[in-house]
Amino acid sequence: MNNLQSRNFVGKKIDDYILVDVLGTGAFGQVFSAQNIITKESVAIKSVPKSKLKEHNGLVGQLLKTEVQVLAQCSNINVVKMNKYLESENNCYIVMEYCNQGDLEQLWKKKNRIIPEVEAIQYIKQILNGMRGLHEMNVIHRDLKLPNILISNNVLKIGDLGFAKRMESLDGVVKEALGTLGTMAPEIIEFKPYGILADMFSIGAIYYQMLFGVLPFSIKSYNDFLKDVKTNQPNFTRNNIKISKESQELLFRMLNPEPKLRLQWNQLYESPLFSNQVVNPALCQLTVEQVVAKQVDLKMNKQVYQQNKQKFENITNQDMINKLQFDVPKLEHKQVMDNSNDEKLLQEALQQKQLQQQKTNDLNNVFEKYLNERNTLVFLGTVLNEIHQRKHTQNTNVFLPAFIISKKLIIEMNRFLEVLKTQRNIYQCSYFFELYTFPQFIAFIKLCEEDFQIQMTHFQVIQSQLQTILFQMQNQANEKYISELQPAPTGQFEENYRDILINYYMQLQDEKGESEDQDNAINNLSIYVLDTILFDRDVKKQLLNQKVDDYLEKFNFLTSKEKEEMIAQKFQQIYSF
C-alpha cells in the first residue's frame, strides 16, 4: 500500500476504533494511531491486507499468526501489549497499546546518534527484560533494531514482532532468513540453523550503535558484512568515544560471529554491568532512564536463564507441540466492517490525541522537576564524600563537619519525602494526581525511600562515632553540639551548621603549603564547603537547572586567584544575612 492509500485509511471506523494517523508503512502492512471512540483510549492498530497472507508460500500469514500469539500471551512491561485481534472482509487488524514517545532510533537521532554509556546501559537493561519475556515463551525476535524498540512514558517496549518466530524448544532452530542487515546475526544471513543467540548478536549491535553512532560491521552488502564480522573485531575507538572495559568485553563476546562462542544468555548477567548490585553509600544523580531501568529485576532475569537452561534441554519437540495446541491465545477475535469513514469522529479523535499528548508532556515535565529537586541533594552527598575521601592532618576535626552535613542531608531528604508522600502539588500541575499512577513515578518514590534509609544508616554510623568523641571530651564548646546528635533539626541547627562548617573551612586553610596541587585541591573543597552553607539561599536554585558534576567541574577551570576571589565573595554572602 502506498502513502496515498494509507492516507485514505485515516478516518475509517473499525469496530469501536477510528484510525487517526499513519505511524508507519512496511512491506506487508501499515500501523496507524487510533482512538477508541467509547473510552477515548489511544491505541496503535497494525493493518495487514488478507491478500498478503498467502505471499511467500504463506509465510506472511504464518508470521502474522505468530505475532498475534506472542503479543496475546506476553505480559512483560518491556514488550508491546496487545488488546484484541479484528478481521474485516479484506484486512486483519492487531490492536495494540499506543507508544506515545516514538522509538529508540528517533531518540538516538535526537541525541546526535551518540548515547553516553551510563544512559545506554539503562536502555539495554530494559531491552533484555523484554527479551526475557519473549524467551520464556520460546520466541526469537530475529529483527531487533532501534526502530523496533518503541517508547511509552519513558519505558522501552519491544515491538514490531512481524519477524518473530516461535521455536519448538529453546534448543530448536529455524531456517528462514528474515531480519535487517547490520543487526541481523551472521548465521541468519548464511541460512544456517539458529536459535535465541541470534538475538544476543542483535542486542550487541544495538548497544554498539547507541555508543558509537554506527553499526559495528560493514553494511554495504551481505558479503561485506560477513567478511567484516568474521575477520575483524569490533572497533572500540570510533568517533573518539571511550567506553569502559566492562562494555568492551561484553560487546566483544556478544558480537562473536560463531554462536557457540558467543556470550550465552545464562552468562550475560555475570557481567559487572548487570551483576553489580552493591549499595552505594554516596547519594548519586538519578535520571529518568535509571528510574525506569531500576524496575527491571536483574536477579530474576538471571535465575530465569539459569533455571530454563536445563528445563528446556529436557523438553522434547512433541512435548512443545502438545503445549502449543493448548496454548491458543484467549483474545477477542471479531469480524468487523471497515468500509465507513466518519469525518466528525476523526476531528474529535485528533483533538483528543492532541490533548492527551499535551497531558503526557506536562506529566513528564513535572516528573523531571521532581527528579531535579531530588538531585539537588546530590550536592550535599558529594561534598560529604569529598570530606571523607580527603586525607586530613591530625589537627583537623572531620567528624563534626561530616556529621552536620550528613544531618542536613537527612533533614532535606525527609522534607522531600514528605512532599511526595502527602502528594503536595508544589509545581501546580493540572494532572497532578495522575502522576501518582505512573509506574516510573511510583518507582521514583520507592527509590527516594531507599536512598533515605541508606543515608540514615550512614548518619547513624557517624552519629555513634561523634557521640563517643563528644562525651569523652566534654567542654563548653562541645556541649551545644550534643543536642544535634538526633536526626531532627533543633532550633539552633542553622547556626550550628554554619559555625561548624566555617570552623572546618578555617582548619582546611591550615593544611595549605605542601604543594601547589594540594593548595588547589583545598581551594576546591573550600568552595564546596562554603556552597554547602549557601545551599538553601543560592546553590539549590542553580542546581535545579544543571547536574551537580557540571556545577562542580566549572571550578576546575579557575585560576588560584579566581578561586580565592570567589571564596571571598561567598564569605560576604554568608555574613550578609
Please list the residues that pair with 166 across neighbouring strands.
139
26, amino acid identity = G
Q: CA–CA distance from 374 to each of 12, 118, 159, 286, 430 (Å)?
A: 46, 19, 33, 8, 21
Q: Are 251 and 514 in contact (CB under 8 A)?
A: no
Residues in binding site for ATP: 46
| Strand 333-335 with 82-87, pairing | parallel
Residues with Cβ within 8 Å of 531's Cβ and at least 6 positions away in sequence, in order, are 379, 383, 539, 570
312, amino acid identity = F
Q: CB atoms < 10 A from the CB of 356, how many? A: 16
**Quick one: residue 213, left, alpha or beta (phi over 0 = left, psi -120 to 50 = alpha)?**
left
Let me know how long the chain is: 577
Cell of 322: 502438545
Cell of 349: 479523535
- Return the sign of the alpha-carbon dihedral for residues 50, 55, 61, 64: negative
Residue of 158, 184, 166, 135 whose CA lies nearest to 62: 166
Residues with Cβ within 8 Å of 201's Cβ and at least 6 positions away in sequence, in order, are 183, 184, 185, 186, 254, 255, 256, 262
Residues in binding site: 46
* Helix residue spans in 17-76 (DSSP H): 55-73
| Strand 82-87 with 91-97, pairing | antiparallel
Q: CA–CA distance from 327 to each of 204, 311, 313 (Å)?
A: 31, 18, 20
Calpha distance 379→458 (Å, rounded)? 16
Cell of 540: 539549590
Calpha distance 141→159 (Å, rounded)? 9
